[in-house]
Amino acid sequence: MTSSALALGGVLAAEGSGDGFQAPGLGEFYPEVVASFSVLGIDFEITRITIILWIATLALVAFLIAAVRNPQMVPGKLQFVGESGYSLVRDGIARDVVGPKGLPFAPFLGALFFFILANNLMAIVPLAQISPMSKFAFPLVLAAICWVMYIWIGIREQGAGKYFKDILFLPGVPKPMYILVTPIEILQNFVVRPFTLAVRLFANMFAGHMLLVVFSLGAVYLFQVGNYSVVFGPISALMAIVMTFFELLVIFLQAYVFTVLMGTYLNGSIEAEH
Amino acid sequence: MNILAAESENPLLPPLGEIIIGLIAFGIVLLVMFKFVAPRFEQVFRARREAIEGGIERAEAMQAEAKEALEQYRAQLAEARSEAAQIRDQARAEGQQILEGLRVQAQEESARIVARGEEQLATARQQVVNELRGQIGTLAVQLAGQVVGESLAEDARRSGTVDRFLAELDGMAAAGDGAVGARKGSR
């Protein structure tokens, strides 16, 4: 992964050094550091992306508080939007996916869904136009929290012995098959699940941003290049618009998928049978 | 160029600072969700559910009440019907009784009329018989006198003969009277 990224960077750098189209690269995700400080030896960098993260977070908090500030039996517009999102998670995921014991997880799953959604939406908000979720750190944080949580819930609900025994020796599998199944189960439960959870979200937002940037910058370049290429400019611009709508779909889908998957993991932890 | 700076970075190895920032940001959202959003929404959902269930309960109560009222009306109707039937029966019975009374009365009346008629008839007959007896006696004496050609008025035997004859007549009349009375009684 590292070598291919470096190779990609090298190719882009080589291309970028010429007079032609300077394709956007990984630099997109490493904007200039506005300010940096250090606490207890940990370096904090304030960049465009961290600012966007804070804007998204504060906007979300403001929206949620406004939505529940004066809750009515017949909801207003704001309350209706907030309620729809929360009901989607509460009824659709906490109750239906996690199961009968799932309702206490509704606030956590709701926070997960809204946090991812708010940050993802920054990918198409003008002037921001990059999702903090395209920085691996943030999906990783969420996936790590989920990872700790579903293991903890599994131990709490089933007891450590039964929980780990069921993972190591999947019930209902013929004994010789454990040679094959046990390593897969261990890998899946403790490595693959959190990793795919983080990477799925990260890669989707990363790729989405790259697509938008490439088409947008491509359109600008084609308009400016000054030769026959100008006829392709509108196509590139059109693609940028189309991809923006596609991105909107991805934004909602990824927020939902992340939450649903966490719901199924919680379900696996709560209910003994697989 | 940023690209040169990016070369030293691995997108899958994020700096610790970013991870902590992410934790804090998500922590804030989590806190808001647990403290404000979820409880308030749950409260709204509960209130709404109660409102709906309360409505259903009210409707059920109303239905039960309506059912009860219907039962009551039906019971009252049945009662009224039975009462009406009772009254009708009673009236019919009374009518029957009155009719019976009238019939008995009429029969008595008719019997009395018949009895009086018979009495009158008997009296009239007796009168006629008495009258006839006198006349027949006289007539018979006249006839006999004429037949014999001379008056037997002074003859002692004469009166005895007449009396015997009349007694004979009397006996005949009494036998005829009894036969007539028997024929009447059978009717």
Q: What is the pLDDT of residues A31-59, one digit of tens each?
A: 777 777 777 777 777 788 888 889 989 99
In a domain, B63, yes or no: yes
Enumerate residues 21 to 60 of chain B having a beta carbon within 8 A of any beta carbon in chain A: 21-23, 25-26, 28-30, 32-34, 36-38, 40-41, 43-45, 47-48, 51
Separation CA A92–CA A40 (nearest Å): 43
Regarding an ipTM greater than 0.85, the answer is: no
Residues sharing a CB contact under 8 Å with residue A63, sequence separation 6 or more, in sequence order: A78, A82, A118
- Most B CBs within 10 A among A15, A47, A64, A209, hence the mutation to make, goes to A64
Residue A31 and residue A225: Cα distance in Å, rounded?
A: 26
Residue A136 sits at φ, ψ, to 5 deg, of -60, -25
Length of chain B: 187
In a domain, B5, yes or no: no
Residue A2 reports pLDDT greater than 50: no
Q: Is residue B4 part of a domain?
A: no
Burial A181-217 (b: 16+ CB within 10 A, else e): eeeebeeebeeebbeebbbbbbbbbbebbbbbbbbbb
How far is it, in rounded angstroms, from Cα A172 to Cα A108?
32
Q: Report yes or no: A221 and A24 within 8 Å, Cβ to Cβ.
A: no
Q: Name the residue facing B18 among A10, A68, A137 (closest C-beta).
A: A137
Residue % of chain B over a pLDDT of 70: 82
The CB-side HSE value for A17 (13 A sphere, CA atoms) comes to 6
Question: Are the Cβ atoms of A86 and B37 closer than 8 angstroms?
Answer: yes
Identity of the residue in B9, B21, B29 whose CB atom sits nearest the CB atom of A114:
B29
> What residues in B contact A72, CB-CB < 8 Å?
44
What percentage of chain A has pLDDT greater than the value 70? 91
pLDDT digits (tens, 9 = 90+) for B83-123: 999 999 999 999 999 999 999 999 999 999 999 999 999 99
Max CA pair span of chain B? 203
The answer to pTM > 0.90 is: no
Q: Specify the higher pLDDT residue, A167 or B88.
A: B88
Listed residue (A242, A257, A250) closest to A120, CA to CA: A250
Cβ neighbours of B117 (radius 10 Å):
10
The number of C-alpha atoms within 13 Å of B55 and in the hemisphere containing its C-beta is 5
Chain A residues inside the 8 Å CB shell of B17: 42-45
Q: Please give the residue of chain A at the shortest CA–CA distance from B50.
A: A73
Nearest to B20 among A42, A83, A107 (CB): A42
The token pair that represents B113 in the structure block: 């009329």
Domain assignment of residue B22, given as a range: 14-186
A137 CB neighbours in chain B (<8 A) are: 14-15, 18-19, 21-22
Report, in this order, helix, strand and coil percent for chain B, each rounded to 5.
Answer: 90, 0, 10
Minimum Cα–Cα distance from A66: chain B residue: B37
> How many domains does chain B contain in total?
1
| Helix-helix angle A106-121:A233-270, to 10 degrees | 170
CA B22 to CA A113: how far, in whole Å? 15
pLDDT for A81-134, tens place per residue? 888 888 888 888 888 888 888 888 888 998 899 999 998 888 888 887 888 888
Asked if residue B27 is part of any domain, the answer here is yes
Q: Is the residue at B89 inside a domain?
A: yes
Percent of chain A with pLDDT over 90: 9
Chain CA centroid to CA B99, Å: 17
Asked if A60 and A140 touch (Cβ cutoff 8 Å), the reply is no
Q: Is B8 an 8 Å CB contact of chain A?
A: no
